Amino acid sequence: MNTSASDILVELTIQDMLELKEKYAKVNHAHYVHTMIDLAIKWRQKYRNERITITSPKNSWKTDGSIVILLDAEVTGIFPYSLGTYENVRQGLLETKRIPKEYFSFANIHENYMDIIEEVVEKMNKKIYKKYENFLYEMSIDEAKALEIKCPSGTYIKKLTKEHVGRINDLWPHKYENSDKDIAVYIEYNGGYGLFSKDNELMSWALQGPLGHINLLQTEEKYKGKGYGSIMVQAMAKKIAEDGYIPVATVLVHNTASVSLFNKLGFKIIAKSYFLKIMSFDMYKSLE
């Protein structure tokens, strides 16, 4: 990833990020962006981890809150947002040299800005080769704090630790090379919970992902249908709320079981969001 000081996407300092956080704290419809910013600050200050980089097109965050968050993972993840017209974001994405040429992803793109992102991809001469449509759910902090979590007889909830990474990664349907290392980071930095049997077997789990969402929700196959996933969602929502954040989650619109679960628990759909996998045409043709 190019980090040239002359790039249109200017990397924010810690002080810049703290001021940006305050700007977004005042905007109700962008509270989940505020969470991402706060976690990026936490990762940088507490853990000296620079895998979440907040940039801004020509420092336009000072005027209209325009940012492009870069997540350093197996595939570079890009989350753009603006409190303005998105013109600065559009220009930044088209002119930057920070974005890999062959393969990257756009994460959690709000439905209101999909047309702009699709235009950007077209002008980049790239292809959207996978597009995931999600519901963006949220629950108020007060509602989440009031959740009463009851474990079935013979089970208990415990915080996840690095010793659980192997099992979580092995059973994760979306795992990739070195994904276990990313999961270890999410557990250490953001936290997660597991539901265990009386014999200390991990049966179900959920984490807070790098962008602040309830993430990696999963129940081992033989324990499905017992309501364990619901318990994990509630545990994570309560934890996130107690940390001062509004609990949010993205759920694939066609995942009827998860949609039903989040609706039943009282989460509200605030928008649709999209996850896009982007590839150069040359790379795409080589895979055909």
- Rounded Cα distance between 110 and 116, Å, is 11
Instruction: Give the pairing of strands 77-81 and 9-11.
Output: unpaired
Angle at 38 between CA 33 and CA 43, to 5 degrees: 125
Residue 287: both structure tokens together: 């895979």
- Backbone Cα Rg of the chain: 19
**pLDDT of res. 89:** 98
pLDDT over threshold 70, residue 219: yes
**What's the mean pLDDT in 218-246?**
96
- Rounded Cα distance between 41 and 19, Å, is 11
**pLDDT of res. 1:** 47
Residues 185-200: tens digit of each pLDDT = 999 999 999 999 999 9
Using a pLDDT cut of 70, give the percent of the chain over it: 98
For residue 287, with 0-12 CB atoms within 10 Å meaning exposed, 13-18 middle and 19 or more buried, which class applies? Answer: exposed
**pLDDT of res. 172:** 92
pLDDT over threshold 80, residue 288: no
pLDDT class of 73 with cuts at 50, 70, 90: confident
**pLDDT of res. 229:** 96
pLDDT over threshold 60, residue 224: yes
pLDDT, the chain, mean: 94
Residues 97-150: tens digit of each pLDDT = 999 999 999 999 999 999 999 999 999 999 999 999 999 999 999 999 999 999
Query: Measuring CA to CA, how many Å separate 230 from each of 163, 184, 218, 250, 263?
Result: 23, 23, 10, 15, 11
Residues 11-57: tens digit of each pLDDT = 999 999 999 999 999 898 898 999 999 999 999 998 888 889 999 99
**What's the mean pLDDT in 63-69?**
98
**pLDDT of res. 77:** 94
**pLDDT of res. 2:** 47
Instruction: Give the pairing of strands 103-110 and 77-81.
Output: parallel
Set out the domains of the chain in order of their start, with CATH numbers.
Answer: 9-135+274-287 (3.40.630.30), 141-245 (3.40.630.30)
What pTM did the predictor assign? 0.91
- Rounded Cα distance between 110 and 174, Å, is 22
pLDDT over threshold 60, residue 70: yes
pLDDT over threshold 60, residue 3: no
Q: DSSP 3-state assignment of 78?
A: strand
* Helical spans, DSSP H, in the chain: 14-25, 31-47, 61-64, 87-95, 114-123, 141-145, 165-171, 179-189, 228-242, 256-264, 281-287
Angle at 219 between CA 130 and CA 211, to 5 degrees: 50
pLDDT class of 152 with cuts at 50, 70, 90: very high
